[in-house]
Amino acid sequence: MIDIIFTYIALSIFILGIIYKLYTWAKSPIPVPIGIYQDSTSAASAIKHILLDVIFFRPLLRFGGNFILWLGSWLFHIALFLTLIGHIKLFLHYPIVLPMIEIRPILKLFVSTILPASLIYLLLRRIVHRDLRYISTPADYFVLLLLLGIIISGIIMANSGINLVAVKYYILSILSFKPVKVDLPIIFWIHYTLVLILLIYFPFSKLMHLFGALVSPTKTSYHKTKAHTKKLEL
């Protein structure tokens, strides 16, 4: 019973919280549009820059010693993205068969090693580098540890021969507002609870950088100058 209540609370806070946060961002105007890309003079070019920055983590590739950070953080986000895609099958009524089913074990192995390894890198670097220690907040460590807990419990669970049909049944029953009781092992509940905590935490934390990366005002601003000219009519 408590698991169901907690789920609905967490989902509501997650969805309403994100909407609220995005609303507060949108409500503040951009009185002076100041972009950071010199050739960005149209919405199309702004979108192009944002996509390049988000898909390839381009700013981390610029000269200046951030390459290891690029590698660690990009691999983490890719592995996370693939993991989340893999979870889609829990939310759909119909069975999904991935094309080229041979990929699945390779993908699974890749994700289940890269994901925790890159996360541990992100955690360790924050502990090892003095300048990062100085500027990190307790929240930064909390999020990394929370994610680590989710990932490790998820890997253990995935390798424990858990009854995925039962999990799917449970999830779908909650989403269709006809919740049922299920008998699942403790490792599932640990994973599930940590995920719900993450959902509640999400809108009020730096995890909103997910949206921030897409609508950062210095990237969405492009210069529509009418008064500037590069030539005189002379």
Q: Is 202 an interacting residue with respect to other proteins (CB under 8 A)? A: no
User: 180 Cβ partners below 8 Å, 6+ apart?
Assistant: 169, 170, 173
Is the CB of 53 or the CB of 192 nearer to other proteins?
Answer: 53
State the Cα–Cα distance between residues 49 and 33, nearest whole angstrom.
16
Q: What 3-state class would DSSP assign to 39?
A: coil
CA distances, 3 to each of 128, 175, 225 (Å): 38, 13, 56
For residues 24-55, one letter each, b for 16 or more C-beta atoms within 10 angstroms of the residue's C-beta and e for the rest, the string is eeeeeeeeeeebebeebeeeeebeebbeebee
- Residue type at 207? L
Is the CB of 178 or the CB of 224 nearer to other proteins?
Answer: 224
Number of amino acids touching other proteins (CB under 8 A): 62
State the Cα–Cα distance between residues 163 and 167, nearest whole angstrom.
7
State the Cα–Cα distance between residues 157 and 185, nearest whole angstrom.
9
Is the CB of 191 or the CB of 219 nearer to other proteins?
Answer: 219
Minimum CB separation from other proteins for residue 115, in Å? 18
Is the CB of 131 or the CB of 183 nearer to other proteins?
Answer: 131
Stretch that binds other proteins, among 101-109, 113-121, 126-134, 173-181 (CB under 8 A): 126-134
Segment 143-172, which members bind other proteins (CB under 8 A)?
A: none
Minimum CB separation from other proteins for residue 206, in Å? 5
Segment 18-57, which members bind other proteins (CB under 8 A)?
A: 21, 24-39, 53, 57
Q: Is 131 an interacting residue with respect to other proteins (CB under 8 A)? A: yes
| Site of interaction with other proteins (CB under 8 A) | 21, 24-39, 53, 57, 59-60, 62-66, 69, 73, 126, 129-132, 134-140, 204-206, 208-209, 212-213, 215-219, 223, 225-232, 234
